């Protein structure tokens, strides 16, 4: 029991360390932080719109509530100051003929309520500005304009946050593992991707980046060196008809960084395959990008994906997502180099080679013998 718990704990720690070293998580989030940035944080306030959109919902709602409550209370204080300066408050014992700047403001609470009614245009009719005070008229105009600006900005930020194409990307899913097997007589790395909505992504384009640490001939160590990985489907990698799950594949040829890897050595490799899917949302015409990544432990050599699409008796096409990430073991060469050598050997067996320098000479036999 103790050995079992120790193995589980060791595997959990190893998996956590792997997860920390991962640049892109399975759901597309980037694991990176910036340190010693020389620019001031004031630059983020200049682009306040993007800063607000990037905030999490709890911070956004805190700013939303604080902006309205703060403006209501601030203008409530200003209305109270106007009433105090004009001596409209009951403690000044105004005469019967006294015309206040704002009727029925008796203290700070009533000033706050009037500020709230003015900014959100409730208009109960009990408190109102009179024409005798120019200061109150100016303050009313200023609060109305500022209230419209705050309302437009905050409501627009909430709407933009809800309708961001980043949320559409959550309905695009990739298979849990990538597989390596033969496809069309070639060794390929295959990944399955599916659109969980019936609406399409227009102009979809899929590609990959292999991230690894490389050492240049000059001795420079480059961490997170990026190598372009081309993924295609049978119809190409541009303008995908993304109505049903697709199996995209990368051909492992002599130009592929996977060419020198083998089934026995792939787990010892240190790389991260990041896959990108770019497209335009059909409903909003906004562009979105979906990302995921695969580490060596998530690349299965000698497997293919199980069938997922079938046709019913009614003539409809049915997608069974229970088999979406299910894999089946198949016979696969243990390395791409061996597959190409095997093809070359078979090609040479089918061909004959003539030696132009070869001359057949006949030797005549003589029957003369001497005794």
Q: pLDDT for 114-144, tens place per residue?
A: 999 999 888 787 888 988 888 999 999 999 9
Q: What is the pLDDT of residues 205-243, one digit of tens each?
A: 889 999 988 888 888 888 888 899 999 886 555 667 777
Helix (H, G, I), strand (E, B) or coil at 202: strand
Pull the structure tokens for residue 140: 């009313």
pLDDT surpasses 70 at 321: yes
Q: What are phi and psi of 70, to 5 degrees?
A: -65, -45
260-to-59, 192, 265, 278 alpha-carbon distances in Å: 49, 24, 9, 29
> Given this model, what pLDDT does residue 191 score?
93
293-to-6, 179, 242, 280, 285 alpha-carbon distances in Å: 29, 13, 20, 21, 26
> Could you tell me the pLDDT band of residue 110, with boundaries at 50, 70 and 90?
very high
Q: What are phi and psi of 248, to 5 degrees?
A: -95, 150
> Given this model, what pLDDT does residue 221 score?
84
Buried b (16+ CB within 10 A) or exposed e, 168-186: bbeebbbbebbbbbeeeee
Lowest mean pLDDT among 16-30, 105-119, 262-276: 16-30
Burial (0-12, 13-18, 19+ Cβ within 10 Å), 41: exposed
Across residues 79-91, what is the average pLDDT?
A: 91
> Could you tell me the pLDDT band of residue 346, with boundaries at 50, 70 and 90?
low
> Could you tell me the pLDDT band of residue 313, with boundaries at 50, 70 and 90?
confident
Q: Which domains does the chain have, with CATH numbers?
A: 48-163 (1.10.287.70), 168-349 (2.60.40.1400)
> Given this model, what pLDDT does residue 72 score?
95
Q: What is the pLDDT of residues 147-192, one digit of tens each?
A: 999 999 988 988 888 877 777 778 888 999 999 998 888 899 999 9
Select, from the ranges 122-126, 254-258, 280-284, 351-355, the one with the highest average predicted confidence (pLDDT).
254-258
Helix (H, G, I), strand (E, B) or coil at 266: helix
What is the distance of C-alpha 252 from the center of its chain?
26
Pull the structure tokens for residue 366: 């003589």
Q: Which residues contact 286 (CB under 8 A, 6 or more apart)?
A: 163, 164, 165, 168, 280
Length reported for the chain: 371
> Could you tell me the pLDDT band of residue 112, with boundaries at 50, 70 and 90?
very high
> Could you tell me the pLDDT band of residue 359, with boundaries at 50, 70 and 90?
low
130 vs 103: CA distance, rounded Å? 7
Helix (H, G, I), strand (E, B) or coil at 163: coil
> Given this model, what pLDDT does residue 93 score?
87
Q: Which one has a higher pLDDT value, 276 or 237?
A: 276
Q: What ranges in 86-186 are assigned the alpha helix state H? A: 108-119, 134-162, 165-168
Strands (E), 100-152: none
């Amino acid at each position: 029991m103790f050995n079992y718990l120790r193995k589980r704990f060791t595997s959990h720690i190893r998996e956590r360390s792997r997860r920390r070293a991962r640049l892109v998580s399975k759901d597309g989030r980037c694991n990176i932080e910036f340190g010693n940035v020389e620019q001031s944080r004031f630059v983020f306030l200049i682009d306040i719109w993007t800063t607000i959109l990037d905030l999490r919902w709890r911070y956004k709602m805190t700013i939303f509530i604080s902006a309205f409550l703060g403006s209501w209370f601030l203008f409530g204080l200003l209305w109270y100051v106007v009433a105090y300066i004009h001596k409209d408050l009951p403690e000044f014992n105004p005469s019967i003929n006294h015309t206040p700047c704002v009727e029925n403001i008796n203290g700070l609470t009533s000033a706050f309520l009037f500020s709230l009614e003015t900014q959100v245009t409730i208009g109960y009719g009990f408190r109102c500005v009179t024409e005798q005070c120019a200061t109150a008229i100016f303050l009313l105009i200023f609060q109305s304009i500022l209230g419209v600006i705050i309302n437009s900005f905050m409501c627009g930020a909430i709407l933009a946050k809800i309708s961001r194409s980043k949320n559409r990307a959550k309905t695009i899913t990739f298979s849990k593992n990538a597989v390596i097997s033969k496809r069309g007589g070639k060794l390929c790395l295959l990944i399955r991707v599916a659109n969980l909505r019936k609406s399409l992504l227009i102009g979809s384009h899929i590609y990959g980046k292999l991230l690894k640490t490389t050492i240049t001939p000059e001795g420079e160590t480059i961490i997170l060196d990026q190598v372009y990985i081309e993924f295609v489907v049978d119809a190409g990698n541009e303008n995908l008809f993304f109505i049903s799950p697709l199996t995209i594949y990368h051909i492992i040829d002599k130009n592929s960084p996977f060419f020198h890897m083998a089934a026995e050595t792939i787990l010892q490799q240190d790389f991260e395959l990041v896959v990108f899917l770019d497209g335009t949302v059909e409903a909003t015409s906004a562009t979105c990008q979906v990302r995921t990544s695969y580490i060596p432990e998530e690349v299965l050599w000698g497997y293919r994906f199980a069938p997922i699409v079938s046709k019913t008796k009614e003539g409809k096409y049915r997608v069974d997502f229970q088999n979406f990430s299910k894999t089946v073991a198949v016979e696969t060469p243990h390395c791409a180099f061996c597959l190409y050598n095997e093809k070359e050997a078979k090609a040479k067996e089918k061909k004959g080679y003539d030696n132009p320098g070869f001359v057949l000479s006949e030797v005549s036999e003589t029957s003369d013998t001497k005794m």
